[in-house]
Amino acid sequence: MAAQIKFQPRIEIIRQDDWLNLALLLVNQSSFTVWIENATITLADLDVQNQFATPRGCFRHQVLQYIGPKETLTVSVAHAVYDAAGRPQGPYSCLLFTNIQYSVFNEWCEASATTCRIAMAAMNVIDLQSARWYDKKVKKQQLLTQR
């Protein structure tokens, strides 16, 4: 039954008042309610100088919320990315991997957003670009490993 679920997480820049915010959009395009357990976001290829703290590189955000049919839940992740990067005092960039654990009809599933490259200064988003090339590279590597 989970195969009939059209659930798509994605990272986007959204405008809130005069502020650009990095957000995780959890889009439920199906006709069924989905329970979102958590979102795990991992930073890779971190290019940063002058961190305030040691970069963690990964964080887990508990969502614990239902998303109804044809609804979207928006979760701000700018502060969490800033903390995971070690609270840089200047600009920084990294690859962002996002994995969502959700449940539908008592079956646990996972969904991943397209990998993206972000550039930020503190919690301010400077740039967001798709890094689909990285996803293709990983899938190709997995196919070679399975042989």
Model pLDDT, residue 131: 82
Give all domains of the chain, ordered by start, each with its CATH number: 2-146 (2.60.40)
* Tens-digit pLDDT profile for residues 19-71: 889 999 999 999 999 999 999 999 999 998 877 777 788 999 999 999 999 99
Confidence label for 135 from pLDDT (cuts 50, 70 and 90): low
- For the cut 60, the answer to whether the pLDDT of residue 102 exceeds it is yes
Top pLDDT among 14 and 146 is at 14
Q: Rounded to an integer, what is the distance from CA 61 to the centroid of its chain?
A: 10
- For the cut 80, the answer to whether the pLDDT of residue 133 exceeds it is no
Sole residue written with tokens 């800033």:
82
Determine the average pLDDT of the residues in 124-142: 72
Model pLDDT, residue 137: 58
Q: Rounded to an integer, what is the distance from CA 99 to the centroid of its chain?
A: 6
* Tens-digit pLDDT profile for residues 76-96: 999 999 999 999 988 999 999
Q: Ramachandran region of residue 19, left (φ > 0), alpha (ψ -120 to 50) or beta?
A: beta
